[in-house]
Chain A
Amino acid sequence: MTASAAPAAHPLPADWRDFFALTKPRVMSLVIFTGLCGLLAAPVHVDPIIGFTAILCIALGAGGSAALNQWWEADLDAKMKRTANRPLPAGRMDRTSARDFGIALGAASVLIMGVAVGWLAAVILALSIVYYSVVYTIWLKPRTPQNIVIGGGAGAFPPMIGWIAATGEITLMPILLFAIIFFWTPPHFWALALFVETDYAAAGIPMMPVVAGHKSTRRQILVYAVLMLPISLAPFWLEVAGWLYGASALLLSGVFLLLALRAAVFRGGAADMDMRPEKRLFAYSVLYLFALFAALVADRYLVG
C-alpha cells in the first residue's frame, strides 16, 4: 500500500452496496458452502441455530478478510481490468471505511463464534483471518510466485472450522478437509492466472505464469492435479468417509487430472484464446470442489 495512491476525496458517502461488494460475495458463496459441508459431515448432531451461527461467523470472517484485502490492495486493483471497478479503486469509498469495516466484521465474527459456538473454532477463525489478511495479502502475494501455494491455506480453513464448530475438537478429518482445498488452490488459481496473466503482470504481482512462464506453470498444475487424486481419496482410504464419497472423489479427481494433462500439453497460440484448456480447467475446478464436498455430505447422510 502506498500513500500516493490514496483516492481523491469523494463528496458522497459509500453506498451500502459498496460495503457488501467489499466482502467479495461470490468468493463467500464457496466459503459458506465448504464451511457448511464441514459442519454437516461431522458425525455429531448440531443445534440448527448454533450451526447457522457458525456458518454466519465463517461468512462474516471471510467478508472481513476480503475487505481488509481490498483495503491493502486498492492500488493493485486499480491497475487490473478485472478489479478496477471495485469500490476502492473506483473511488466510491475511502480507505479508512474499508479498513474499519474489515476489522469490525472480523472481530465480530470471532467474538460471536467464541461466545455462541466455541472458542476453539473462534481461535481457528481468527487464525484464518490473520492468515489471509496478513500472511497472504500483505506478506506473500507481492513477494513470491509461491504466494498461491501458501496463501491457499487461507481458503482451506472454512470446512475445518465448520467441522470443529460441530465437534469442538481437531481430529484427522478436518485436517484432510484442509489438505483437499490447500492442494486444490494452486491448479485452480494458476489456471486463472494463465488467461489473465497480463492483468497480474501490469499490477506487478509475481504470479507463477508471469515469473516462471506458461510451460512451467502448466507442469506445476499437473503435479498438483496428480497429488489431488490420493489426497481427495484419503478420507475413503482412512475409512472416515464411505464408498459414495470414494467413488465420487475417484471420478471427479480423474477428470480433474485429465483436464490438467490437456492444459499441460497444450501448445496453442493466441488464436485459441477462447477454447484454451486452462479455461476449461478453471471452470471445472470450481465445479469439482462443490461436487466433492457435496459428495462428502451425501455420503454421511446416505451411506453413514
Chain B
Amino acid sequence: MTLPSTPDPEQERKRIQRGRNIAVGLLLLGLVVLFYFITIARVRA
C-alpha cells in the first residue's frame, strides 16, 4: 500500500502566487483597456 502523496508546500505556495499574479495582471490590463474606451466615449460625447 502506498501513502497518498501530499503536495510540496513550497510548490503549492508558488502555484497560488502565480495564479494571483496572473489574476492581478489581467485585472490591471482590463482596467487599462476600460479607461482607454471610457476616454474615447467621453471625448466623443
Tell me whether B13 and A12 are in contact (CB under 8 A).
yes
On chain A, the residues within 8 Å of B41 by CB distance are 47, 49-50
Number of A interface residues, CB 8 Å?
14
Binary flags per residue of B1-43, CB closer than 8 Å to A gives 1, else 0: 0000000010011001101101100000000001001101110
Most buried by A among B12, B17, B41: B41
Closest chain-B Cβ to A122's Cβ sits at a distance in Å of: 14
On chain B, the residues within 8 Å of A115 by CB distance are 38
In A105-119, the 8 Å CB interface with B consists of 115-116
Assembly CA distance A47 to B23 (angstroms): 28
Tell me whether A50 and B38 are in contact (CB under 8 A).
yes
Tell me whether B23 and A16 are in contact (CB under 8 A).
yes
Closest chain-B Cβ to A272's Cβ sits at a distance in Å of: 43
Binary flags per residue of A20-51, CB closer than 8 Å to B gives 1, else 0: 00000000000000000000000000010110
Closest chain-B Cβ to A108's Cβ sits at a distance in Å of: 9
Assembly CA distance A144 to B19 (angstroms): 42
Closest chain-A Cβ to B16's Cβ sits at a distance in Å of: 5
Chain A, interface SS category = helix
On chain B, the residues within 8 Å of A49 by CB distance are 37-38, 40-41
A274 CB within 8 Å of chain B: no
Chain B, interface SS category = helix
Assembly CA distance A49 to B12 (angstroms): 39
Tell me whether B38 and A116 are in contact (CB under 8 A).
yes
Tell me whether A15 and B42 are in contact (CB under 8 A).
no
Closest chain-B Cβ to A47's Cβ sits at a distance in Å of: 5
On chain B, the residues within 8 Å of A116 by CB distance are 38, 42
Tell me whether A12 and B12 are in contact (CB under 8 A).
yes
- Candidates B20, B23, B38; contact of A13 at CB < 8 Å: B20
Tell me whether A12 and B38 are in contact (CB under 8 A).
no
Closest chain-A Cβ to B7's Cβ sits at a distance in Å of: 10
On chain B, the residues within 8 Å of A56 by CB distance are 34
Tell me whether A13 and B17 are in contact (CB under 8 A).
yes
Q: List 30 A-B contacts (CB under 8 A).
A: A11-B9, A11-B13, A12-B9, A12-B13, A12-B16, A13-B13, A13-B16, A13-B17, A13-B20, A14-B16, A15-B16, A15-B20, A16-B19, A16-B22, A16-B23, A19-B23, A47-B41, A47-B44, A47-B45, A49-B37, A49-B38, A49-B40, A49-B41, A50-B38, A50-B41, A53-B34, A53-B38, A56-B34, A116-B38, A116-B42
Q: Which positions in A face B, CB cutoff 8 Å?
A: 11-16, 19, 47, 49-50, 53, 56, 115-116
Q: Which positions in B face A, CB cutoff 8 Å?
A: 9, 12-13, 16-17, 19-20, 22-23, 34, 37-38, 40-42, 44-45
Additional A-B contacts beyond A11-B9, A53-B34, A116-B42 (10; CB < 8 A): A11-B13, A12-B12, A12-B16, A13-B20, A15-B20, A16-B22, A47-B41, A47-B44, A49-B41, A56-B34
